[in-house]
Amino acid sequence: MRLNKITEALPFLAPVQILILSVIVIPSLYVVWLSLNASSFGQSATFVGLDNYIRVLTDPAFLLALGNTVLIVIFAVHLELALGLGMALLFASGLPFRRVLLVAVLAPYAVSEVIAVAMWRFLFDPDVGPVTAMLTWLGLPMLDWSFEPSHALIMIGLLTIWLHLPFTFIILYAARLAIPKDLYEAARIDGATAFDAFRRVTIPLLGPAIVVALLFRYIFAFRIFSEVWLMTQGGPARSTEVVAVYLYQEAFSFNAFGTAAATAWIMVLASLLLATGYVFLLRKQVAGNVH
Amino acid sequence: MCTDKLAIGLGKTVAVAVILVWSLFPITFILMSSFKPGQDIFAVPPKFVFSPTIQHYVELWNGWGVFFGGLLNSTIITAGATVLAITTSTAAGYVYSRYSSRMLNASVMFLIIVRLIPPIVVTLPLFPIINAIGLNDTHIVLMVLYATFFVSLGTVLMRTFIDQIPRELDEAAQIDGAGRLTILRRVIVPLAAPGILAVAVFVVVFAWNEFLFAFIFTATRAKTAPLVISEMIGSIDGVDWGVLFAASTVQLIPVLLFVIFMNRYLVAGLTAGATKG
């Protein structure tokens, strides 16, 4: 059955559209205007063109934050993908108590960033942390995350992986389960080894799911804020800031709404850029779904 | 052959053990430590056998009344955000499922693109506006923000689930004289319940745990539980780990049970959400 007139459909659509327009779209467009003006909280703005963007892009603190963000994205997302893929294949190979194990793997999804940071700070505490004690016992160096920026970034990367692995795993596992068993049967009859089957059947058919999981995680890891803020507040001396923390500092610590807005739009553009491929894939999907 | 099988079995067992330790050790550690008496928390190697005590919970109750206020705020905000997100996305998902036009298809793309905007971006203009109209530090602000950041995913999910309900049912109800709203309430909603639950899992977990918006838009009256816990972590005179673990346990247990209980819907939602938008 069709809703015949668009006027009939409008009351059902309006709430969602009003929420999105008033909370996300219009404010985001207003941020464009903010980014082209020099302003701070409570003062009138003056138009400065692209000045804010130039100031941000030449600010060493921003470049460091961008570098840290890119490092976290590349390190965490790819490691997470490899782990998620390995786990998906392990689960698909047949495990006893699979449902219980699945629920155990999902558990970190329920944990807030705040509590995850509390856990990590204790587990890796230089003096009393059990993981630190274990690392020392194994003769490995401990993570001196409150003083050494690179160690802090490793901690944050691990924490991000821990929080988001359930997502990546589920996407890949669902896609792996969707591969028909016949294909593996056929491969086996044709004399393919397990590795051949993995290379020629599993990987090509998982391709789209891998791309989706990667893009989602690139986009979400790029906006990382809470983990970093709660772990180090960007310190010591702004050395572990990421782009979102830089934005927060500009806006709410230094009252520089112009440069904060420019940073915000740099984030939006980066996300859009990352997602072009994804949106392209989805357009095919949406076209395929038209009734 | 037999040793091969044994080796594979052994390898799998080790892999499963590593996965379980990775996923569950940090959680179990917090839950357990919240019941450990004073110095046992810091014992190396960690103690797994100890005489449990509720002293940290008593300290939490006596010293951190603000945490229980935070729990109440979190509950109100989570409930509000979930109801708002579910009602609006179900209504919109219904239209997207049953009606097709160029404009609607274009607006689906719009819903998907909106998800690319990082939440921190909107705090810049909303912060002064919300202050100006006196809504800062209120429940309603967080409810609306949390719901809005999930209605795009929610709508697309609901469309996917409602697509699976045969249109003949709508038609039958219409012949019986039911209006759109009645069809939505009496036919669609009961049959789309798994979709509604999937959306609910997303919104509940997000709203219960969220930090950034709560940090920026609340101060005292509407402060949520995660925010209070973050203050415990950042406390200047050293962290009181026992109390922090007790508070974390109280905040974590409800949402953890919820995710465990609803795991089917979470999996369905994640899968549909990733492939459909």
Domains and CATH numbers, chain B: 24-53 (no CATH), 63-276 (1.10.3720.10)
- CA R_g for chain B: 23
Owner of token pair 């949406």: A286
B43 vs B34: CA distance, rounded Å: 14
pLDDT in tens, chain B (277 residues): 577 888 888 989 999 999 999 999 999 999 999 999 878 888 777 777 888 899 999 999 999 999 999 999 999 999 999 999 999 999 999 999 988 888 888 888 888 888 889 999 999 999 989 999 999 899 999 999 999 999 999 999 999 999 999 999 988 998 888 888 899 999 999 999 999 999 999 999 999 999 999 999 999 999 999 999 999 998 766 788 999 999 999 999 999 999 999 999 999 998 887 766 5
* CA distance to A21, A172, A197, A255, B263, per residue, from B160 (Å): 23, 20, 32, 44, 19
**B residues 167..186 contacting A (CB < 8 A):** 167, 170-171, 174, 180, 184
When CB atoms are compared, the residue of A3, A95, A104 closest to B95 is: A3
User: Which residues from A are below 8 Å from B215, CB to CB?
Assistant: 229
Amino acid sitting at position A6: I
pLDDT at position B39 is 80
pLDDT at position A209 is 87
B132 interfacial to chain A (CB closer than 8 Å): no
Please enumerate in sequence order all residues whose Cβ is within 8 A of that of A37, keeping only pairs 6 or more positions apart, or say none. A45, A46, A47, A48, A52, A258
Q: Is residue A51 part of a domain?
A: no
Residue B252 to residue A110, Cβ atoms within 8 A: yes
Q: Is residue A240 part of a domain?
A: yes
| Residue A284 pLDDT > 80 | no
Cis peptide before B45 (omega within 30 of 0): yes
What's the structural domain count of chain A? 1
Q: What is the mean pLDDT of residues A176-183?
A: 88
CA distance B89 to chain A (A): 6
pLDDT at position A22 is 94
Residue of A nearest to B247 (CA): A115
Tell me the residue range of the domain where A168 lies: 68-254
Which of A2, A8, A24, A85 is most worth mutating to test chain B (most B CB atoms within 10 A of its CB)? A24
- Is A28 strand, coil or helix? helix
A106 vs B252: CA distance, rounded Å: 14
User: Which of the 8 DSSP states describes residue B48?
Assistant: S
Q: How many CB pairs under 8 A join A and B?
A: 272
When CB atoms are compared, the residue of A104, A112, A275 closest to B20 is: A104
Residue of B nearest to A223 (CA): B118
Q: Is residue A285 part of a domain?
A: no
**Nearest Cα to Cα of residue B165 among B193, B200, B199:** B193
**Nearest Cα to Cα of residue B97 among B188, B177, B197:** B188
When CB atoms are compared, the residue of B107, B144, B248 closest to A118 is: B248
Q: Is residue A168 part of a domain?
A: yes
pLDDT digit string, tens, across residues A99-112: 999 999 999 999 99
When CB atoms are compared, the residue of B100, B148, B248 closest to A19 is: B148
pLDDT at position B1 is 56
Q: Is residue A121 part of a domain?
A: yes
Give the count of beta carbons closer than 10 Å to the beta carbon of residue A209.
22
CA distance B49 to chain A (A): 15
Q: Is residue A283 part of a domain?
A: no
CA distance A71 to chain B (A): 19
Spacing of C-alpha A11 from chain mean position: 34
Q: Residue A279's pLDDT band (boundaries 50, 70, 90)?
A: low
Residue of A nearest to B230 (CA): A114
User: Which residues from A are below 8 Å from B89, CB to CB?
Assistant: 16
Q: Is B17 buried (19+), middle (13-18) or exposed (0-12) by CB count in 10 A? A: exposed
When CB atoms are compared, the residue of A11, A101, A170 closest to B267 is: A170
Please give the helix or strand (H or E) that residue A37 lies within, else none: strand A37-38
* CA distance to A77, A283, B9, B100, B187, per residue, from B106 (Å): 31, 10, 51, 10, 27
Residue B260 to residue A107, Cβ atoms within 8 A: yes
pLDDT digit string, tens, across residues A37-80: 887 656 677 888 899 999 999 999 999 999 999 999 999 999 99
Which of B124, B175, B210, B218 is most worth mutating to test chain A (most A CB atoms within 10 A of its CB)? B124
Owner of token pair 């002293």: B55
User: Which residues from B are below 8 Å from A2, CB to CB?
Assistant: 98-100
| Residue A289 pLDDT > 70 | no
When CB atoms are compared, the residue of B33, B120, B233 closest to A121 is: B233
Interface confidence (ipTM) of the complex: 0.92
B94 vs B99: CA distance, rounded Å: 8
User: Which residues from B are below 8 Å from A272, CB to CB?
Assistant: 113, 116
When CB atoms are compared, the residue of A24, A110, A257 closest to B259 is: A110
pLDDT at position A278 is 66
A157 vs A146: CA distance, rounded Å: 15
pLDDT at position A286 is 54
Q: Is residue A120 part of a domain?
A: yes
Residue B229 to residue A283, Cβ atoms within 8 A: no
When CB atoms are compared, the residue of B30, B216, B277 closest to A119 is: B30
Q: Residue A244's pLDDT band (boundaries 50, 70, 90)?
A: very high
CA distance A86 to chain B (A): 10
pLDDT at position A1 is 42
Q: What is the CATH number of the domain that holds A174?
A: 1.10.3720.10
Residue of B nearest to A274 (CA): B116
**Nearest Cα to Cα of residue A178 among A170, A188, A186, A166:** A170
A226 interfacial to chain B (CB closer than 8 Å): yes
Q: Is residue A243 part of a domain?
A: yes
Please enumerate in sequence order all residues whose Cβ is within 8 A of that of B65, keeping only pairs 6 or more positions apart, or say none. none
- Is A46 strand, coil or helix? strand
pLDDT digit string, tens, across residues A246-263: 999 999 999 888 999 999
Question: Comparing A18 with A4, which gets the higher pLDDT?
Answer: A18
Question: Comparing A125 with B227, which gets the higher pLDDT?
Answer: B227
B73 interfacial to chain A (CB closer than 8 Å): no
